[in-house]
Structure 1
Amino acid sequence: MAVDIPGISAPQVGVVVGNPKPASRTYQAARYLAEQLTGLPPDPVVDLADFGTRLLDWTDESVAETVKTVTSLDLVVFASPTYKASVTGLLKLFLDRFPLNGLDGVVAVPLMLGGGPSHALAPELFLKPVLAELGATLPTRSLFVLEGSYSDPDAFEPWISSSRARLAAALRPAYSA
């Protein structure tokens, strides 16, 4: 069941994936989560691996356009593998492009995949605070999924069930203006 906001169309949902490997497990998990939340495939899906070193070029127009696109979305799943107990540098480089409060009005869902439960707090400790600093609305706790369970719906379902109402409530003001 998707996030249901009576009387409005589906929110615009996108995905930003900070895995250096294109079309990674993180990418697949983020797409799956976004689709489960809205009932529709996410659009856009930003696979930062496609940008490579262009993320280091502050004059790159395609990166600037992607930042602008992300700021216009209602709901964004920001996903990263756990790398050295934190998010990847690739995702950090992308997030550095946003100005202070650049994600104001965007409901963000932090998602991280990791090899073991010892990193389960990584999205709460390392990804969520950065998104909050950028002004994103974060109505739910972060989601951590074991790498080996990235394609198992049961790994997502408890979080989805407990988060659906809070996400709908956070999205509602954007449609009641």
Structure 2
Amino acid sequence: MKLVTIYGSPTPPGKLARALELLETGVRERHPGWEVERIAPASTITPVVATWRDDVVEKVSGADAVVISSPVFRGSITGTLKLLIDMLPVEALRSKPVAILTVAAAPHHFLSAERHLRDVLSWFGALTAPNSAFFVDRVFAADTVDDEVRHELHELADQVVVLAERLSGRSFGPDPLTVRYRKKTSG
């Protein structure tokens, strides 16, 4: 089975990338047989926007589970991550387990990006994991990362891995609103 992690930051790998690396390593160690692939922006246009490779839709579509990560930027997800989400057809995330990982400079941002992502993921009909992970970025700045942080990252990944294994091949309804609307207007 395959887990795709999405690095939703336009900036070079930093604290968010370190969090994803710990999560990915945990999946490889704890879930034999799972392949893990990270999708990251192809090139940075500005410190706020980056572009994606042409094959990202295919990679997300082919995954059994997805972890979306984003820094909190002005109370939401990055424009870079929004560009990727806008590229995806509904079918890429429909009935697929998806976990949310966010990192911010201050604890008072803990729900902002998650709330926006949950709304968008419901539009796709994704199976959003019940618990997300949020960290203040300084926990990834030290040479060593606390065991409790590692444990939370492993638990986050375990949610989508277990959901994908137990629900493999199943589709859940009702159809998302966008699919129902499309059916009504095309029929």
8 A contact 1:74–1:105 mirrored in 2: no
> Aligned partner of 2:166: which letter?
R
1:82-115 deviation per Cα after TM superposition (whole angstroms, max 9, x unaligned): 1001110000011100123431242111110011
1:10-30 deviation per Cα after TM superposition (whole angstroms, max 9, x unaligned): x31121111111222111212
Tell me the TM-score normalised to structure 1 length: 0.75
* Partner SS for 2:166: helix
1:166: how far off? 7.0
> Aligned partner of 1:128: which letter?
R
Q: Residue 44 of structure 2 is aligned with which of 45, 52, 70?
A: 52
1:45: how far off? 1.0
8 A contact 1:102–1:135 mirrored in 2: no
**How many aligned positions are there?**
161
Aligned to 2:185: none
Aligned to 1:43: 36
Aligned to 1:76: 66
Aligned to 1:154: 148
> Aligned partner of 1:16: which letter?
I
Structure having the higher Rg: 2
Give the Cα separation in 1 of the matches to 2:62 and 2:132. Answer: 22
Q: Runs of 5+ in structure 2 lacking a partner? A: 171-187
Aligned to 2:14: 24
> Aligned partner of 1:104: which letter?
R
1:13-63 deviation per Cα after TM superposition (whole angstroms, max 9, x unaligned): 121111111222111212212332452696321122x2335x888xxxx73
User: Per the alignment, do residues 110 and 42 of structure 1 end up closer, same or farther by CA in structure 2, a change over 3 Å counting?
Assistant: farther
Aligned to 1:116: 106
Give identity over the alignment, percent. Answer: 22
User: Per the alignment, do residues 169 and 20 of structure 1 end up closer, same or farther by CA in structure 2, a change over 3 Å counting?
Assistant: closer
User: Per the alignment, do residues 136 and 117 of structure 1 end up closer, same or farther by CA in structure 2, a change over 3 Å counting?
Assistant: same
* Partner SS for 2:126: coil
Aligned to 1:142: 132
User: Per the alignment, do residues 63 and 135 of structure 1 end up closer, same or farther by CA in structure 2, a change over 3 Å counting?
Assistant: farther
1:167: how far off? 4.7
> Aligned partner of 2:56: which letter?
T
8 A contact 2:3–2:64 mirrored in 1: yes
Tell me the TM-score normalised to structure 2 length: 0.71
User: Per the alignment, do residues 160 and 98 of structure 1 end up closer, same or farther by CA in structure 2, a change over 3 Å counting?
Assistant: same
User: Per the alignment, do residues 149 and 172 of structure 1 end up closer, same or farther by CA in structure 2, a change over 3 Å counting?
Assistant: same
> Aligned partner of 1:30: which letter?
L
8 A contact 1:113–1:145 mirrored in 2: yes
* Partner SS for 1:124: helix
> Aligned partner of 1:116: which letter?
A
